């Protein structure tokens, strides 16, 4: 029944070692989002895809990249993780950007940087 | 820039009593969402409020939106332990901003027996 799936659920990486987080959806939604949530903080939007169109938030560091090879999958690449990048990374989807569409969140990937 | 503030940041509740969480935002928006997050878990959608005066209720939770006051409230009636969680409001930034969401800082709720 899972609609938004994230893998892995927990990821440990070393300082500076590239890491990729995965998100897939069975909802056939047009929009996929990546959020970063640090401990006891609100989720912060990093970027989103509307279909194949990529939209980066102005304050998202260059260290964070994303790919969406098809409707179902979206990846978050962290090129050189720093200690400050340790966080929960949440993927979300919505049918459209129209504002009335609920965002459905995946279970998240908790990233630890050693 | 849209700012979203929640009050209080932490709420210790007694079972059976009523409480309210407030969500204020700084610029015009007529779409607001409430989410629940359990520790270490993802966000679960509670309510979508799409117009001024909108009121939604589910079980012991009721949410309302006053777009003129730029205020939403989440009211908890007769709190029970399983409502312990962190509650986030999120405001739609509007069509010009791609209808992206800005989240409030969250209200951590602990319901004690």
Report CB contact under 8 Å: B94, A55: no
CA distance A58 to A14: 27
- Domains (ranges, CATH) in chain A? 4-113 (2.60.40.10)
Contact B106 A50 (CB under 8 A): no
Confidence tier at B27 by pLDDT (50, 70, 90):
confident
Query: Structurally, how many domains does chain B consist of?
Result: 1
B73: domain CATH number is: 2.60.40.10
Q: List beta partners, residue B33.
A: B48, B90
A28: left (phi over 0), alpha (psi -120 to 50) or beta: left
Report the alpha-carbon distance of residue A105 to residue A85 in Å, rounded. Answer: 20
pLDDT in tens, A3-52: 999 999 999 999 999 999 999 999 999 999 999 999 889 999 999 999 99
A58 Cβ under 8 Å from any chain B Cβ:
no
How many alpha carbons lie under 13 Å from residue B82 in its C-beta half-sphere?
2
Q: Check pLDDT > 70 for residue A99.
A: no
3-state secondary structure of A83: helix
Distance CA A32, CA A49 (A): 5
d(CA A31, CA A13): 28
pLDDT digits (tens, 9 = 90+) for B56-95: 999 999 999 999 999 999 999 999 999 999 999 999 888 7
pLDDT at residue B95 in the model = 76
The domain in which residue B9 lies consists of: 4-112
């Amino acid at each position: 029944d899972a609609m938004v799936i994230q893998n892995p659920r927990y990821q440990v990486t070393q300082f500076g070692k590239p890491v990729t987080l995965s998100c897939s959806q069975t909802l056939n939604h047009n929009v996929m989002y990546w959020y970063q949530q640090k401990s006891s903080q609100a989720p912060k939007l990093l970027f989103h895809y509307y279909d194949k169109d990529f939209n980066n938030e102005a304050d998202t560091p260059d260290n964070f990249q994303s790919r969406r090879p098809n409707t179902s999958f979206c990846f978050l690449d962290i090129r050189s993780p720093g200690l400050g990048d340790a966080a929960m990374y949440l993927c979300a989807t919505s049918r459209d950007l129209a504002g009335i569409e609920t965002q459905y969140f995946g279970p998240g990937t908790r990233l630890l940087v050693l | 820039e849209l700012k979203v503030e929640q009050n209080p940041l932490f709420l210790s509740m007694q079972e059976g009593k009523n409480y309210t969480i407030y969500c204020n935002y700084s610029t015009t928006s007529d779409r607001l969402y409430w989410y629940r997050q359990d520790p270490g878990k993802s966000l679960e959608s509670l309510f979508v409020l799409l117009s001024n005066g909108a009121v939604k209720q589910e079980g012991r939770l009721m949410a309302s939106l006053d777009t003129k006051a730029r205020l939403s409230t989440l009211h908890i009636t007769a709190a029970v332990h399983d409502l312990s969680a962190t509650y986030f409001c999120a405001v739609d930034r509007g069509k010009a901003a791609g209808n992206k969401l800005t989240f409030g800082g969250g209200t951590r709720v602990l319901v004690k027996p």
